[in-house]
Homo-oligomer: A and B are copies of this chain.
Amino acid sequence: MISREKHDRMANAIRFLSMDAVEHANSGHPGLPMGAADIATVLFTRFMTHDPKKPSWPDRDRFVLSAGHGSMLIYSLLYLLGYEDITIDEIRNFRQLGSRTAGHPEFGHAAGIETTTGPLGQGIANSVGMAIAERILNARFGDDLVDHYTYVLAGDGCLMEGISQEALALAGHLKLNKLIVLFDDNQISIDGPISLSDSTDQCERFAASGWNTMRCDGHDPEAIAKAIEAARASDRPTMIAFRTTIGFGAPTKSGSAKVHGSPLGKEEIAGARKALGWNADPFVIPSDILDDWRLAGLRSAKERKAWEERLTAADAETRGEFERRMRGALPESFDAVVAEYKQTLVAEPPKVATRKSSEMALEAINAIVTETIGGSADLTGSNNTKTSQTKPITPEDFSGRYIHYGIREHGMAAAMNGMALHGGIIPYGGTFLTFSDYARPAMRLASLMQIRSIFVMTHDSIGLGEDGPTHQPVEHLAALRAIPNHYVFRPADAVEAAECWQAALKAEKTPSTLALSRQNLAPQRLEHEEDNLCARGAYELAGSEDEAEVALFATGSEVEIAMAAKALLDAAGHPARVVSVPCFELFEEQTADYRKAVIGKAKVNVAIEAGIRQGWDAIIGSEGVFIGMTGFGASAPAPVLYKHFGITAEAAAAAAQKRLAMLG
Contacts and interface: CB of A to CB of B under 8 A. Distances in A.
Contacts of A376: 191
A203 to B, nearest CB: 8
A110 to B, nearest CB: 13
Interface string A448-485: 10000000000000000111111100110011011111
Nearest to A261: B382
Given A205-B208, A209-B200, A622-B622, A408 B161 contact: yes
A609 interface: no
A630 B435 contact: no
A444 B469 CA distance: 11
A282 interface: no
A328 interface: no
Nearest to A612: B482
Interface stretch (A45-53, A81-89, A112-120, A333-341): A112-120
Contact of A615 (B173, B614, B644): B614
Contact of A165 (B117, B165, B482): B165
Given A160-B406, A165-B165, A380 B470 contact: no
Given A97-B634, A209-B200, A479-B479, A438 B441 contact: yes
Interface in A168-209: 169-170, 172-173, 189-192, 196-202, 204-205, 207-209
Contact of A198 (B160, B169, B191, B612): B169
A555 to B, nearest CB: 16
A15 interface: no
B631 A485 contact: yes
Interface string A107-133: 000000000111110000000000000
Interface in A1-50: 25, 27-28
Given A27-B465, A161-B408, A172 B200 contact: yes
A434 interface: yes
B162 A410 contact: yes
A157 B209 CA distance: 15
A147 interface: no
A201 B197 CA distance: 24
A635 interface: yes
A105 to B, nearest CB: 9
A614 B163 contact: no
A411 interface: yes
A640 interface: yes
A252 interface: no
A191 B28 contact: no
A97 B204 contact: no
A318 interface: no
Most B C-beta atoms less than 10 A away, residue of A207, A210, A379, A622:
A622
A378 interface: yes
Most B C-beta atoms less than 10 A away, residue of A173, A407, A435:
A407
A404 interface: yes
Nearest to A584: B614
Nearest to A447: B632
A440 interface: yes
Nearest to A69: B467
A537 interface: no
A103 interface: yes
Interface string A590-607: 000000000000000000
B475 A448 contact: no
A115 B105 CA distance: 40
B379 A190 contact: yes
A197 B615 contact: no
Contacts of A621: 622
Given A172-B199, A208-B200, A381-B190, A118 B164 contact: no
A612 B200 CA distance: 40
Contacts of A634: 97-98, 102
Contacts of A448: 469-470, 632
Contact of A104 (B96, B172, B444, B467): B467
Contacts of A409: 161
B166 A161 contact: yes
Contacts of A653: none
Nearest to A117: B470
Nearest to A469: B448
A378 to B, nearest CB: 5
Contacts of A204: 204, 207-208
A392 interface: yes
B205 A382 contact: no
A106 interface: yes
A445 interface: yes
Contacts of A623: 622
Given A196-B392, A434-B119, A444-B437, A190 B160 contact: no
Those 5 A-B pairs whose CB atoms lie nearest each other, nearest first: A162-B162, A197-B406, A617-B617, A118-B470, A97-B636
Interface of A: 25, 27-28, 68, 95-99, 102-104, 106, 116-120, 156-157, 160-166, 169-170, 172-173, 189-192, 196-202, 204-205, 207-210, 376, 378-382, 392, 404-411, 434-435, 437-438, 440-441, 444-445, 447-448, 465-471, 474-475, 478-479, 481-485, 612-615, 617-618, 621-623, 630-632, 634-637, 640-641, 644
20 contacts: A96-B640, A97-B636, A97-B640, A104-B635, A118-B470, A156-B407, A160-B166, A161-B409, A162-B163, A173-B199, A189-B378, A189-B406, A196-B406, A197-B407, A197-B408, A199-B210, A200-B209, A437-B440, A448-B469, A448-B632
Given A97-B640, A156-B407, 19 more contacts: A68-B470, A106-B468, A106-B470, A116-B470, A117-B470, A119-B471, A157-B378, A160-B166, A161-B166, A162-B163, A169-B199, A189-B378, A190-B378, A190-B380, A197-B378, A198-B406, A200-B208, A205-B209, A474-B484
